Chain A
């Protein structure tokens, strides 16, 4: 980096980029005819921004507070249902709740406000249930958090996963049918008109998450992530801060659930299962655990790959290659393999724990040609290094083998190598190291 931009230029640059992006999305969604691959891009942006929000909210927990929570799909589910239930227009209730006598709630917040305030009312009517969705999820998360957040890493993961499953069962419970429509689909609720809507909402929410992370509370969260015991010794109330992070994260998961409901136009509890949580987690991993910009990039890449770029793999023809292997489902397999490769060989993800900055971006851009040029050499160097490492490993293995043989020879000659461990008669067969 020879020269850095001053902060005013950087801000202007960021604003310009965001504005251009929004204009593109708005005009694009209005003008591009359905069916073209550009339309696909708009869809990817829509869905990508919704998943960017939920991934950022999960990152707040997993990457910034060190809480390995797997309840995100469950929270999205509540958010989606809350939004949908309160925005189904009165006249559609009989059709939607056909098995439940038109349901219990016969009105829609959107309709009521629209009647009073017109177009403005329409939008306020969409915002209220959306924020409400977030708040209800936050309340439920608060209650769940009281018992669950006292648990340690993997137990927390399982307990949150379990709660998400309970919630799913609850929403499909027939007794609640007049409200949730049981295991049937909810539809005909109010949705947005242009793809710019989820992009803006998700953008604002992610900005708030970033502000939180960079505040003094965010610092306390990160302290908990790095070392719970030290954080506590520095006066950080563990439970209070964990609960705070959990509730805020869930609030945004709820909002993203509401957005997803609008995007899909119909919802059902079934797909909000563990697979969905896994996918959100994998987005976070691809982007980098501990990087919000990483989660955004991860979400767009994930959505683009699964919805767009790899589509051809299902249809039998991709990048000009056709094969009988390519039939429905192949895309997801390739995709899962790619993710495994990332998890195993590129564990820090795209951004690691850093955030996007113009300086770094410009430096990367400037160095790109030389990096590309030197790639073969670096690759060669890496290969040599790997070879050497393998050789050392082989040598060490041979040595170990020799030592083992020696030991065996000694054993054969009757020498005792070490005293065997005592056999215990406890019921416990495997136990954690006790004290």
Chain B
């Protein structure tokens, strides 16, 4: 239903993703596509399972059922096994037969970077170091060489530093490069989280409530900022957000979750007119 009119290639596809914790179904049969260079919104009331979906994509949780494709390749797939076999309440049982798991760092290496709802910066490090950590996985020198400062290690370190500083300039954090990450004001911490995610050279960026706690002016800036990095870094973006202004302003396609289930998807205009969405948000007439 999602890709009937979009001809761009699909970079991220969730098929029948279901996440069940004990008896609680946190995400129920989520089907979602993100196309190349698209900005996709994921909305829904609190507890709808949005962050859980993010955690499934990034390998933090193992979904109970369903599959996730990144750039056309199935990287995560699971079906109800063990204890879950009997207690599974979702649909599409038997459709998936393989169990492919992937640790979060591998997912990141495949080009999926994320930010966190409750900012998770490295507290004991400076702004610059926070960004440089994210580049660590791309360097190739061994511990031994890095410790004894081989020529290669020095070159890589220099290149990393330059790239990190460059990135900080682009997100307006250059002046704060030597500050401790936690001493930054809240809005800048959000920017740093995005910069850190960008440092992993992603092709897909997952933003978890980037505008949380921002005033209308700040969220307006953020909107423009997200659009800018999409173009500059050639990204496809999937974002969770509660600020309707932001979501409606920049997303090309929106998915709506409620109680784990997917209740609607479509363009911003379609979503705004969808009675099921309005009911979920405002409560329907009993």
State whether the Cβ of B103 lies closer than 8 Å to any Cβ in chain A: yes
CB distance from A292 to the nearest CB of B (A): 14
B147's partner among A217, A230, A231 (CB-CB below 8 A) is A217
Whether a CB of chain B sits under 8 angstroms from the CB of A244 is: yes
* C-alpha gap A238/B116 in the complex (Å): 18
- Nearest neighbor of B138 in chain A, beta-carbon distance: A235
Q: How far is the CA of A290 from the CA of B60 in the complex (A)?
A: 28
A37 to chain B, nearest CB (A): 39
Residues from chain B with Cβ under 8 Å of A215 in the complex = 143, 146-147, 149, 153, 157
Pick from A208, A226, A229: contact of B125, CB below 8 A.
Answer: A226
Contact of A234 among B134, B146, B148 (CB under 8 A): B134
Contact mask for chain B residues 122-162; partner A; CB cutoff 8 A; 1 contact, 0 none? 11110001001110111101010011110001001100100
- Output the residue of A223, A227, A233 with the most chain B CB within 10 A: A233
Specify which chain A residues have a CB less than 8 angstroms from the CB of B153 in the assembled complex.
Answer: 215-216
Q: Are A234 and B133 in contact (CB under 8 A)?
A: yes
B161 to chain A: closest CB distance in Å? Answer: 10
Interface residues on B, range: 35 or more
**CB-based A-B contact count at 8 angstroms:** 113
User: A216 near B122 (CB under 8 angstroms)?
Assistant: no
Q: How long is the Cα–Cα vector from A217 to B157 in the complex, in angstroms?
A: 11
A219 interface residue (CB < 8 Å to B): yes
Q: Min CB distance, A87 to chain B, in Å?
A: 27
B121 within 8 A of partner (CB): yes
Contacts of B121 in A (CB 8 A): 226-227, 230
Q: Which residues of chain A from 188 to 245 have any CB-CB distance to chain B below 8 Å in the complex?
A: 208, 211-212, 215-217, 219-220, 222-223, 225-227, 229-238, 244
B100 is an interface residue with CB less than 8 A from chain A:
no
Q: Which of B22, B137, B138 neighbours the largest number of chain A CB atoms within 10 Å of its CB?
A: B137
CB distance A353 to B160 under 8 Å?
no
- Determine if A208 and B147 form an interchain contact, defined as CB atoms under 8 angstroms apart: yes
Partner of A237, one of B105, B114, B116, B160: B105
Residues on the A chain within 8 Å of B108, using CB: 232-235
| Chain B CB within 8 A of A432 CB | no
Quick check: A235 and B125 within 8 Å, CB to CB? no
How many Å lie between the Cα of A435 and that of B58 in the bound state? 21
**Contact in complex: A219, B147 (CB < 8 Å):** no
0/1 interface trace, chain A 286-321, chain B, CB 8 Å (1 if under): 000010000000000000000000000000000000
Known interface pairs A212-B143, A212-B147, A248-B143. Does A235 touch B123 (Cβ–Cβ under 8 Å)? no
Return chain A residues, CB-CB under 8 Å to B113. 233-234
In angstroms, how far is the closest chain B Cβ from the Cβ of A239? Answer: 8
Nearest Cβ in chain A — how far from B233, in angstroms?
A: 16
Write out the residue numbers on chain B whose beta carbons fall within 8 Å of the beta carbon of A232. 60, 103-105, 108
Contacts known (A215-B153, A222-B122); A231 close to B146, Cβ less than 8 A: no
What residues of A have a CB within 8 angstroms of the CB of B85 in the complex?
Answer: none
Separation of A217 and B140 alpha carbons in the complex (Å): 11
CA distance A235 to B149 in the complex (A): 22
Given that A222-B122, A227-B123 are known contacts, is A234 also in contact with B200, CB under 8 Å in the complex?
yes
B122, B156, B196: most-surrounded residue (chain A CB, <10 A)? B122
Q: Does the CB pair B146–A353 fall under 8 Å? A: no
Are B148 and A235 in contact, CB atoms less than 8 angstroms apart?
Answer: no
Q: CB-CB < 8 A to B103: which residues of A?
A: 232, 237-238
Q: Which of B114, B122, B160 contacts A231 (CB 8 A)?
A: B122
Nearest to B199 among chain A residues (CB) is: A234
Chain B positions within 8 Å of A353 at CB level? 124
Residues on B with beta carbons closer than 8 Å to the beta carbon of A229: 60, 104, 116, 120
Query: CB-CB < 8 A to B120: which residues of A?
Result: 227, 229-230, 233
A-B contact pairs, 17 of them (CB 8 A): A212-B143, A212-B147, A215-B143, A217-B143, A219-B133, A222-B133, A229-B116, A230-B121, A231-B133, A232-B60, A232-B105, A233-B120, A234-B133, A234-B200, A235-B138, A236-B136, A248-B143
Give the 9 A-B CB pairs with smallest separation, nearest first. A235-B137, A226-B122, A230-B120, A235-B108, A215-B146, A232-B104, A234-B134, A223-B133, A212-B147
